[in-house]
Structure formats: structure tokens, C-alpha cells
Amino acid sequence: MNKLGIIHHSVRDRMHHLTLWVRMDRVRSFPAFRHANDGARMHGGVALRFFGMVMIAMASAPLSFAQPDATDGQARLTGPAAAFFTPENVAAPASKEQMRATITALMENGRIDAGELDFLREVAAQTPFLLTIPATPGGLSVPPASDDAAALARLLISPPNMHTLWHGDAEKTGQLVEISRWGPLARQRVANFFGSKLYDAWGQSNLLNAFSPFVDSLGREWNAVKALNDPAAVRAGKELLIDGCAIAKQKVVDDGKPPLEGFLCAWMPNSL
């Protein structure tokens, strides 16, 4: 009678225990999944395209991104973003929600122009400034932004390399989740990035190592998302990881490689 072995995995918060029974005499014949050589192509060509788009648009700005506080106390907004700064709502400092909605509107056309970048720098500097919008040609006196709003402006002014944020750290993962909330395009870019990282982790996983690269990678990010303070961000982050798993699974199929074991991601939708 063949011996049975048990491979037991626990995603870091111990919420989900994955137990796999296998016949040990078949281990040697189980295919090993090696790191995908084209993973780097997926990273550079897809996952980082959102940030590349932002940085290309910002390249026309006259001031250095390394000095986001170089301001002159004036800015101008046009288009949909201007609707979030009116005489009625500028009496109080800009909130995180107000700034997120403004950034989403700014990103609708896929670029940030020099005038919009100037506005972002004023917000990031957290000093009063005069904002001109079409409805108020004389300008609005805008008070210093809240810390959270200023942090969002700085995040868009100097977007980080997403690879530096994938380490299971709540603060860093929170930045990825925040960026994903800047509209459909931004969300898809972050989901694609999650998918590329999970695809790479699956490429390093096999039965002999108990799929630990994939389980550990997914578990770290899942727990980092759970540690976020904003319930809406927690749900958004979990949904990104669910989508990332689906993207990784499809990428594996498209590349003709052994499929990603379904049970590794199957528990996630029930844990939103």
C-alpha cells in the first residue's frame, strides 16, 4: 500500500488551512514549475504602464519632481476635477476623500498636465494657495490640505516603483490599494501587477516545496491588506488579490504551463 504524506499550509493569519494529500510514490513524476522567464516582460510591459503613463505626462512640467514643495501660492484647475473645489467646500482643509475624487477626475484622460501638477504641488505643500477654476475666475482661497490629502498628492507626484511595495507590509500595500482607487484604469494596472507577482510565485512553486512560494506570497499580502485601517481599503485590497489570482491562473494557461492549483485561491471570495 502506498504511503500517504500530508502537506499542511497555513496562510499567516491561520484563517485558512490548506491540506493536500498526495501519494508519495508519485512525487518524482509531479512536474516542477520553474520561474517564468517572461515574468519580467509582464512586469515592465503591463504592471508598470500606469506609472509610466503618469511620469511621461509629468515630464513636461517645468519643476523638479524631487521638490514637490516648490510652489508660488497659485494654481488653476479646469475640467471635471474643478468640481471638487467650490466656494462651498474650500472652507475646510481638503480631505482624503475629496483629494481621491479629484485625482480620479484628473486621471480620466490618462495624463497629468503642467497646470494639474502645479495644483498637486500646492496641495502637497500644505500651505494656503489661490485656486482659479472656471466657475470662479477671481480665485478661491484654499486652506492647507489635511495630512491625508497631502499624502495622496505626493503619491501621485512621485509614484513609487510597485515592486518596492510588494513585501507584505501594510503601509506599502496600502499605497498599492490607494492607487487602485484612482479609477478603473489605475485599478486594472494594480490588479495586473498583483497577477504578475502571483504568477512569478507560482512559477517557483511545486509539490516538493509544498507550493510555499505561492502560499507565502499570497498570505503576506492578504494579511497586509487585513491590517489596513479603512474597511473600504481592506475590501478593495482583498478584491485586488482575488483578481490577481484569476489573472495569474489565466496567464499560466495562456503560456501552456501546468495549471495553478485551484484550492490555493478558492477560499478568498468567502473571506471578503
pLDDT confidence tier of residue 166, bands split at 50, 70 and 90: very high
Give pLDDT tens digits for 34-74: 333 333 333 333 333 444 444 333 333 333 333 444 688 99
Give pLDDT tens digits for 132-141: 998 888 899 9
User: CA 163 → CA 65, 143, 190, 196, distances in Å?
Assistant: 20, 35, 11, 11
Average pLDDT (72-100) is 91
pLDDT attached to residue 88:
83
pLDDT attached to residue 49:
43
Average pLDDT (8-30) is 31
What's the rounded Cα separation, in Å, for the pair 112 and 44? 21
What's the rounded Cα separation, in Å, for the pair 189 and 180? 8
Name which residue leads in pLDDT, 127 or 14: 127
pLDDT attached to residue 68:
45
pLDDT attached to residue 119:
96
pLDDT confidence tier of residue 16, bands split at 50, 70 and 90: very low
pLDDT confidence tier of residue 145, bands split at 50, 70 and 90: very high
Name which residue leads in pLDDT, 231 or 272: 231
Mean pLDDT (the chain, rounded) = 79
pLDDT over 70 percentage in the chain: 74
Beta-sheet pairing, 74-76 with 136-142: unpaired
Amino acid present at 152: L
pLDDT attached to residue 108:
87
Within 106-234, strands assigned E span 129-133, 136-142
Please list, in sequence order, all residues whose beta carbon lies within 8 angstroms of the beta carbon of residue 170, skipping any fewer than 6 positions away: 224, 225, 227, 228
Domains of the chain: which residue ranges? Answer: 33-46+162-271, 62-157
Q: Is the pTM of this model over 0.85?
A: no
pLDDT attached to residue 93:
93
What's the rounded Cα separation, in Å, for the pair 7 and 19? 6
Name which residue leads in pLDDT, 91 or 189: 189
Give pLDDT tens digits for 212-262: 999 999 999 999 999 999 999 999 999 999 999 999 999 999 999 889 998
pLDDT attached to residue 257:
87
Cell representation of residue 182: 484612482
Residue 172 has pLDDT above 50, yes or no: yes
Residue 197 has pLDDT above 90, yes or no: yes
Beta-sheet pairing, 129-133 with 74-76: parallel
Q: Which residues pair with 76 in a beta bridge?
A: 132
Please list, in sequence order, all residues whose beta carbon lies within 8 angstroms of the beta carbon of residue 48, skipping any fewer than 6 positions away: 161, 162, 193
What's the rounded Cα separation, in Å, for the pair 250 and 247? 5
pLDDT confidence tier of residue 167, bands split at 50, 70 and 90: confident
